[in-house]
Amino acid sequence: MQDGYLTVNVIDSTTNAPMENVTINIYGQNEDGSASSTVYQNLKTDNSGQISNLPLSAPDLAYSLQPSDVKPYKDYIVEAIKDGYETIIIDGTQLLPVVNARQSIPMRPRERSRLSYKRQNEIIYDIGPHTLWGDYPPKIPEDSLKPIPAPTGFVVLDNPVVPEFIVVHDGLPEDTSAENFWVPFKTYIKNVASSEIYSTWPEQTIFANVIAIISFTLNRVFTEWYRNKGFNFTITSTTNYDHKYIHNRNIFDEISVVVDSVFNTFIRRPPTSRQPLLAQYCDGVRVQCPDQMTQWGSKDLGDQGYNYEDILKYFYGDNIVFATAQIVSGVPVSYPGTSLQVGSEGSYVRTIQNQLNAISNSYPAVPKVAEDGIFGEQTAEAVRTFQKIFGLPQTGVVDFKTWYEISRVYVAVTKIASLNPLI
């Protein structure tokens, strides 16, 4: 056994604000899914709503680095309790060895009756198994490029755009009883990647798989695939047709940082000039998929030193090209194109200072800074604190991934848009 590490983030789902002094209990899980021994009890979240870097035992690293009959991760039960709020139980937080898992928990106030509070109830989120371990239906193959409908169709985009939200239908397309979740785009990609690959894999393999997931998702967005069929969602959570999205599952920091770095990057195949490739894949062990990427195959190429571009070209062909969506919806100001750091000056620095100060109102650990447009050490320290809270490398530099993560949190805590919780 080796240790993995867990950070718990708790927010108020009605305000997106972090919740301090929430009681967190963590239990082991038996094979039948029931709770076993108590691992941590009566832990309290800090003023950022967090309990950080808890060591928890996990299976040996080797089991996640090759197909194995031994489950490569360990499941835990995480319980969050706060007076005046519904108790939340995450049943199935997945811990891999060595790497960092991050479990977000949205809490909502108990409903008030006319006379008193209702008796506190438990809300249980049952987290399904990882797709490389669980028994899920294989993807039904589709054409990787879709015909663009006639002008009377639903497509209205000239070029791919990163949407603010993905509307995920949590079931088969025709299942009208299945719930639709409005999920921030980056959160959706992080959730899917954490559900479908292991964060212990080589970084370039993670990049390749994340870009394939982004490209597939942007194809569904660009072609309005489901809406053109009369449905009211962007994508499903079913592996028969799309990727596996598991609502409120944990994500892994190693995957999260990769997504933050390339969330607007996709692949396409000439002669089509605009359409992202519907980059389908399979595991390559239990299921084979000719002319598509295999997850274990991408892992092997990463072990051999292939970079992500070469991995993707190996599977999808040398004629694919890499592109970026120039428009990111729901962002107050787009990334300036160059990193901001100590010595930088100007309106973009002032924008970041203003957003950090607004975030500080909800996350007081982030120090207030002067909004003078001068990137000094005070601003760098505020950036480092922000990066620590949100699982980014603590460089004090506002690069592409930090800019857009600051934007995301700023929009959420100031309620510029009607956002779902930061989960």
If you write DSSP's letter for every residue of 335-398 in order, what string do you get? --SS-B-TT-BSHHHHHHHHHHHHHHHH-TTS-----SSB--HHHHHHHHHHHHHTT----S-B
Among residues of the chain, what percentage have pLDDT more than 90? 85
Which pTM value belongs to this model?
Answer: 0.93
**The pLDDT value given to residue 327:** 85
Burial 214-246 (b: 16+ CB within 10 A, else e): bbbbbbbbbbbbbbeeebebbbbbbbebbbbbb
Task: Give the sheet arrangement for strand 235-236, strand by strand.
Answer: 180-184, 165-169, 235-236
Instruction: Determine the average pLDDT of the residues in 48-64.
Output: 97
Torsion of CA 363, 369, 370, 375, to 10 degrees: -130
Find the range with the poorest average confidence among 19-33, 84-98, 168-182, 247-261. 19-33
- For the chain, the average pLDDT equals 92
Whether the CA torsion 169, 7, 92, 283 is positive or negative: it is positive
Residue 83 gets which letter from DSSP?
A: T
Q: Where are the domains of the chain?
A: 2-126, 165-324, 347-414
- Residue 57: count other Cβ atoms within 10 Å of its Cβ: 14
Confidence class of residue 118 from pLDDT cuts 50, 70 and 90? very low
- CATH topology for 2-126 is Immunoglobulin-like (2.60.40)
Query: pLDDT-based confidence at 397, cuts 50/70/90?
Result: very high
Could you give the percent of the chain with pLDDT greater than 70? Answer: 92
What is the number of alpha carbons within 13 Å of residue 309 lying toward its C-beta?
Answer: 7
Residues 6+ apart with CB under 8 A from 338: none
Residues 197/209, Cβ–Cβ less than 8 Å: yes
Given a cut of 90, whether residue 150 has pLDDT beyond it is: no
Specify the DSSP class assigned to residue 313. H
Is pLDDT of 419 > 90? Answer: no
> For position 423, what pLDDT does the model report?
40
